[in-house]
Amino acid sequence: MSIFIHILLTNVLPMGVMIALGVMIHRAFSLDIKTLSKMNFYLFSPAIMFDLLYNTAISISLIGKIMFFLVLFMVAQYIIVEVVIRIRGYSPGMKSAMRNSVLFYNSANYGIPLNQLAFAGNEKTLAIQVIIMMMQSLVPNTYGIYNVNAHKADMRAIRRTILSMPVIYVIPLALLLRNFHIDIPQSLSTPIDYLSNAFIGTALITLGVQLGSMEWKIKRSLLIDVSLSGMLRLLVGPLLAWLIVWMMGIEKLTAAALIVSSAVPTSLSSVLLAVEFDNEAEFASQSVFVSTLLSIITVTAVIFFLQLDV
């Protein structure tokens, strides 16, 4: 129990403090969440991606393994969610909302700070988390749009969305510069460092602001569905990840990073899609809130068990 409490206090609680500060500052000053999100998405997130991939030795074979893991993980999650959906007999709108609440998880605002704390700033595990963040940025803006409301999805709009994502330019650029040993001028490397270092604090504050803008109560009519979503995301997710890394024979440190990454709560992307397409927005927002709250315990438990087995 003392190890569990130690992990809670050193790996998870620091994030909770930063998130709470975000909640409080939003309640006091009503911050503009769209501005914070854009700064994270277009400045801080690309900077940390570039910085990590340029400065961290990560092989193409490892990237391939991570991508293969993500495909298997997403497919396995999808199958399990579909079983739950059929048993519950959801309406079409609720089906897509439940899928998004489980398949899309907070790999950026929550996942990267967690990775830094859980693995003591290890550059390799952080680079792995960045690749996961890349995919979790791409999937909601492609599959997620179709899932929520396929008949309204505009292919041109989706293409524009994809082409506007900094990640599709930053990652190949960083890998090319690294592979060809091209030095970055200090006039550029210094601003990149500043932006990269700002990511974690800003990401957690942003998550707090997002939670602070939500309604902090669960309707009885949604209690079972929100609970199912949280269980599939926080408990089934890491169990599936453990099974897949075991089947793939992935080495221990990489496996641990992938399992921890799978244990994070539901992404705000599910809420944004629900609001944009007027599709079960209340369920989506409550799933994000509840999964984030419960993750304090579940994420601590995942790290605790990994300390014993990995």
Mean pLDDT across the chain: 84
From residue 144, alpha-carbon distances to 136, 150, 228, 272 in Å are 10, 9, 20, 10
DSSP-based three-state secondary structure for 263: coil
- pLDDT tens-digit profile of 33-90? 778 878 877 888 889 889 888 887 777 788 889 999 999 999 999 999 999 999 999 8
Give the whole-angstrom CA distance, residue 34 versus residue 124: 31
Quick one: which of 289, 223, 241 has its CA closest to 19?
A: 289
What residue segments make up the domains of the chain, in order of their start?
Answer: 2-215+222-300
Residue 236 pLDDT > 50, yes or no?
Answer: yes
Residue 309 pLDDT > 60, yes or no?
Answer: no
CATH of 2-215+222-300, picked from 1.10.10.10, 1.20.1530.20, 1.50.10.100, 3.30.360.10, is 1.20.1530.20
From residue 186, alpha-carbon distances to 51, 53, 192 in Å are 13, 17, 10
- The residue whose two tokens read 């997620």 is 144
What's the pTM value of the predicted model, to 2 decimals? 0.81
Residue 134 pLDDT > 80, yes or no?
Answer: no
Give the lowest-confidence range in 142-151, 156-165, 248-257, 296-305. 142-151
Confidence tier at 206 by pLDDT (50, 70, 90): confident
The answer to whether 173 and 49 have CB atoms below 8 angstroms apart is: no
Give the whole-angstrom CA distance, residue 291 versus residue 15: 15
- pLDDT tens-digit profile of 85-113? 999 998 888 888 899 899 989 887 788 88
Give the whole-angstrom CA distance, residue 126 versus residue 114: 10
- pLDDT tens-digit profile of 156-177? 666 676 677 787 788 889 889 9
